[in-house]
Amino acid sequence: MQIINGKEISKKIREELRERVSGISGKNKGVPALATILVGENPASKVYIASKIKACGEVGIKSVHHNLPATASQEEIIALIQKLNADKEISGILLQLPLPEGQNAEKCIDAISPDKDVDGLHPYNAGMLTLVKSWQEILNQKLLVSCTPMGVIYLLKYSNIDIKGKNVVVIGRSNLVGKPVSMLMLANNATVTMAHSATVNLREITKNADIVVAAIGKAGFVNKDFIKEGAVVIDVGINRCGDKLCGDVDFESVKDMNIHITPVPGGVGPMTITMLLHNTILAFERQ
């Protein structure tokens, strides 16, 4: 087994991002700025926001935080988003999810300008991803793509794992991970199968895959019977297993196999925030 170390790769990319921001500010072109919005006092969301603000500081991105009460109306949330849309000093807007019960997250996300949608969740950006034909087009157009799927691709690229021509099986069809990571794999010339809860003979399908992306949200669901020797396994799952975190892959089951695999924690997770920083810089450059 060879571990794909997301912490180390993330650290390397952040160093590159810090150099990019330094180059931008050195030319007196301003500084990329990320506006974060937290509605309510969800403890987990507060931790996530704090880690994103800290990461911004590490690479030189300015962060501006807005905390609305849980009682804030949808109109108030959208009004704040529209104010940030119009603020030329703000490069990207991140609305921390989930919102308090009763709020329509989709309507709030739709209110974010596509040019400032650093989460890559706006329908315009999601649609643009389906229209591109190649990875180079994604880079040239500076597309804002959902952070976790983009992190998966960069994990593979920085690990010198070729995607072109590979048989890829993505387990999960969510708008957040499954669909966009499938589009990114296609853009990198892979042959992609999207599997999900209704897929028949799932084990047989994944057993033929060169690359397996597990994003089904079920702890330890994927075991050695799903994986062939020599495969690459990307575990996107984050599940609470007792007092620790575990992925969608049964790590103990596959640890003696000849595979490349991302651990949980320390695999895909660190890359998600790194891609948020990456997108904030892209948004700045686009604007």
Q: How far is CA 232 from CA 3, 152, 202, 229, in A?
A: 10, 12, 17, 9
Please check whether the two domains, 28-113 and 139-269, share a CATH topology: yes
| pLDDT at position 220 | 95
Q: Is residue 27 pLDDT above 90, yes or no?
A: no
Q: How far is CA 63 from CA 37, 49, 277, 282, in A?
A: 11, 11, 11, 15
Strand 239-241 and strand 244-246: the pairing is: antiparallel
Q: Give the residue extent of every domain in the chain.
A: 28-113, 139-269
Q: Confidence band (pLDDT; 50, 70, 90) for 168?
A: very high
User: Tell me: the pLDDT tens digits for 108-142?
Assistant: 999 999 999 999 999 999 999 999 999 999 999 99
For residue 86, give every residue at least 6 positions away whose Cβ sits within 8 Å of its Cβ, in sequence order, or none: none
pLDDT cut 90: percent of the chain above it: 94
Q: Is residue 104 pLDDT above 90, yes or no?
A: yes
DSSP-based three-state secondary structure for 107: helix
| pLDDT at position 29 | 76
CATH class of the domain defined by 139-269? alpha beta
For residue 126, give every residue at least 6 positions away whose Cβ sits within 8 Å of its Cβ, in sequence order, or none: 120, 146, 175, 179, 180
State which H helix or E strand residue 99 sits in.
none
Mean per-residue pLDDT of the chain: 96
Q: What are phi and psi of 151, to 5 degrees?
A: -60, -35
Q: Is residue 261 pLDDT above 80, yes or no?
A: yes
Calculate mean pLDDT across residues 175-195: 97
Q: Which of 216, 217, 153 is nearest to 186 (CA)?
A: 153
Q: Catalytic residues, which ones?
A: 52, 96, 119
CATH architecture of the domain with range 28-113: 3-Layer(aba) Sandwich (3.40)
Backbone torsion region of residue 227, taken as left when φ is above 0, otherwise alpha when ψ lies between -120 and 50, otherwise beta: beta
Within 10 angstroms of residue 64's Cβ, the number of other Cβ atoms is 16
Q: What is the DSSP letter of 122?
A: S
| pLDDT at position 63 | 97
| pLDDT at position 285 | 94
For residue 244, give every residue at least 6 positions away whose Cβ sits within 8 Å of its Cβ, in sequence order, or none: none
Calculate mean pLDDT across residues 236-262: 94
Give residue for tokens 């987990």.
44
| pLDDT at position 28 | 73
| pLDDT at position 102 | 87
Q: What are phi and psi of 134, to 5 degrees?
A: -150, 160
Calculate mean pLDDT across residues 169-188: 97
- Rounded CA gap, 275 and 236, in Å? 15
Give residue for tokens 């991302």.
262
Q: Confidence band (pLDDT; 50, 70, 90) for 25?
A: confident
User: Tell me: the pLDDT tens digits for 47-95?
Assistant: 999 999 999 999 999 999 999 999 999 999 999 999 999 999 999 999 9
Q: Is residue 5 pLDDT above 90, yes or no?
A: yes
